[in-house]
Copies of this chain bind each other. A is one copy, B any other.
Amino acid sequence: MKLGDGVEAAIHCAATLASVDGNSTMPGAALAEAFGLSPSYLLKHLNQLTAARILESLPGPAGGYRLARAAEQITLLDVVLAIEGREPAFRCGEIRQRGPVKIDASAYVKPCGINAAMLKAERAYRAALAEVKLSDIVAEYAAEGDRRSYAASCAFVERHQRPQKSASSKQT
């Protein structure tokens, strides 16, 4: 029951990328600098987000990362699953049929109640995460966050984003 440290970085980066203009991109090195992280390691997580179709990456001198779709269509659950993996945290090893109590395969057609309870709890967890969109995060930050901090973040984004000529499938 411990989330990796990369989840926090991934969400922050995604939220930052949600503030870039149109189809502009932002290099991974700039994102790493913004949060004081190791650039080489952050790329690993950004890579996972790219593989999950949350971000898209453009190579080349003017390249970088940007959201693959609108911030309203990205939830925290998407990001968490992309980093931590899609399989549930609790996986039933069926240890009840590993000891001498084991009877027959036909006796274990039903999943054990423990597994059902754990999976139900995890569904509640994921449902709560699915309700929060990336646009909610940035909106809440813009509305209730500290003005100076917000201005500084915007300035940082403005300074490091790189406009692109051809528009991708970003527009909604």
Q: Which residues of A contact B (CB under 8 A)?
A: 1-5, 7-9, 11-12, 15, 33-37, 76, 80, 84-85, 89-90, 92-93, 95-96, 98-101, 103-104, 106-110, 112-114, 117-118, 120-122, 124-129, 132, 136-137, 140-141, 144-146, 148-149, 152-153, 156
* A117–B152 touching, CB < 8 Å: no
* A34–B101 touching, CB < 8 Å: yes
Q: Given the complex of chains A and B, what is the CA–CA distance between A145 and B93 in angstroms?
A: 17
User: Known contacts A90-B3, A114-B8, A145-B110: does B99 contact A36 (CB below 8 Å)?
Assistant: yes
What DSSP secondary structure best describes chain A's contact surface? helix
Contacts of A118 in B (CB 8 A): 3, 76, 129
* A92–B137 touching, CB < 8 Å: no
* A117–B89 touching, CB < 8 Å: no
Contacts of A92 in B (CB 8 A): 8
Contacts of A103 in B (CB 8 A): 146, 148-149, 152
* A12–B95 touching, CB < 8 Å: yes
Q: Which residue of B lies closest to A116 (CB)?
A: B140
* A114–B11 touching, CB < 8 Å: yes
